[in-house]
Amino acid sequence: MNITRRTACQTLLAASLAAQQPRPLRKPNLVVILADDLGYGDIACFGGTEVSTPEIDSLTASGTKFTDGYVSCAVCSPSRASLLTGRYQQRFGHEFNPHSEKWEAEAGFGLSPKEKILPQYLKAFGYKSGIVGKWHLGSQPGFHPLDRGFHEFYGFLGGANDYATLETGDARGLRGEEGDEIPQVRRHPILRGKQEVREPRYLTDAFMEESCAFIDRYRQQPFFLFLALNAVHNPLHATERYWNRFAGVKNERRRILAAMAAAMDDATGAVLRKIRECGLERDTPVVFLSDNGSPLMNGAGSNGVFNGAKCTYYEGGIRIPFLAAWPGRIPAGKVYRHPVTSRDILPTFLAAAGASAPADVRFDGVDLLPFLNGARTQPPHDVLHWRAGKGRAARMGKWKLVECGDRHSKLYDLSADPGETRDLSAEFPAVHQQLRQAWNGWNSRMMPPRWPARQRKIAINGEQLVWDL
């Protein structure tokens, strides 16, 4: 064999051996898609009958659906604080929403700088982190996302924003409780980093495109993308192309919300396609959830069979659509029925990234991966607790305690009565007392709120109750 042929054979052999070598391990990319005020009945895969969400629904086939997924609070800001820290927000006093922008500036509202959040943990492991969408965890110096470990931010700092302006052109919508006009400018400026930018796009579309661009930029290295949509939070704004999909929905407000949910679904689908196009599907766990239940008072949303709404600690306020997919690591087509919470996302993502939990931080969430793949068969949590001023709740197995003030204390069997319509506290006083004692023990380890609450009156089972938020 001459030298040329020998060299060619050696090259082919080397290439063949290289192809047989195991694929080099890379840290997984991490993606959270967080909807805003999305109720259990607002997407198809959790029972919504007037909405169409095929992209979100696809996660039930490629991943796991959590029937009993919870958030830590029934309003936006504390819920997000808990998700990003993996801790009960009462551990650091982030119990309520801010009152107003003026009050926020004067009170120094924001997620405590003493608390580390997910991108700060990930930075030490080579991750690039980006948030697209709504922040709502402080706007003063030191509280901005870029001050909290995120490398990129595109979105707004406040709690709600206009999806469309007169500049958008094809906007159709109602302003919910605030009137019917499409505004000329958005109530909160859109920022790229800390710089205000002009944004003429329908906001959900803009956040979709910015998220896909982020994935493109960092496809060669591990990244964390937090797509924190403001859909379907008020105001009710939809564009004509989504509005026209739902001509059969006669209630105009419900029709607009269905159109907003469809835009959110398209944004989710675009992110999933971009991950696939980049060849990253098997390297990327994706979690989809809402930050709390539907408010219902806008006449648009639905919490399905559940009682209560946003601001309350009945199931309608805190049990939310929750899905997770990661081919090869999270079972496909599985329905998981033990309670899980948004606090579990941070420990799960740290474990997925091979990052050890810091010894000096107590997480209240757990790594869900061993529970999903069968390595652990018991429920992830013995008991879950909630507190927002006078609003209190605890869940232990099938039992749920709900309290609002000192006179309203109810016990429900969620396995038989998920709508929480039949109070069993008189029939099972020992269970009622056990849950109250468990809650009192937990509460004794939490700190008082760092700022005062607002209040809202909401009817539950015909009874007007005042909830703190």
For residue 239 the two structure tokens come to: 């564009």
For residue 368 the two structure tokens come to: 């869900």
Report the C-alpha gap between 90 and 99 in whole angstroms: 18
Nearest to 95 by CA among 440, 373, 467: 467
Report the C-alpha gap between 171 and 163 in whole angstroms: 9
For residue 257 the two structure tokens come to: 């919300």
Catalytic residue among 73, 94, 136, 212: 136
Catalytic site includes residue 311: no
CA distances from 346 to 32, 87, 355, 372 (A): 10, 9, 11, 16
Catalytic site includes residue 136: yes
Report the C-alpha gap between 70 and 395 in whole angstroms: 11
For residue 203 the two structure tokens come to: 């906001």
Report the C-alpha gap between 215 and 457 in whole angstroms: 43
Burial (CB count within 10 angstroms: exposed 0-12, middle 13-18, buried 19+), residue 41: buried
Q: Are 121 and 143 in contact (CB under 8 A)?
A: no
Catalytic residue among 76, 212, 311, 404: 76
CA dihedral 204, 326, 214, 45 (to 10 degrees): -10
Report the C-alpha gap between 121 and 356 in whole angstroms: 10
Catalytic residue numbers read 76, 136
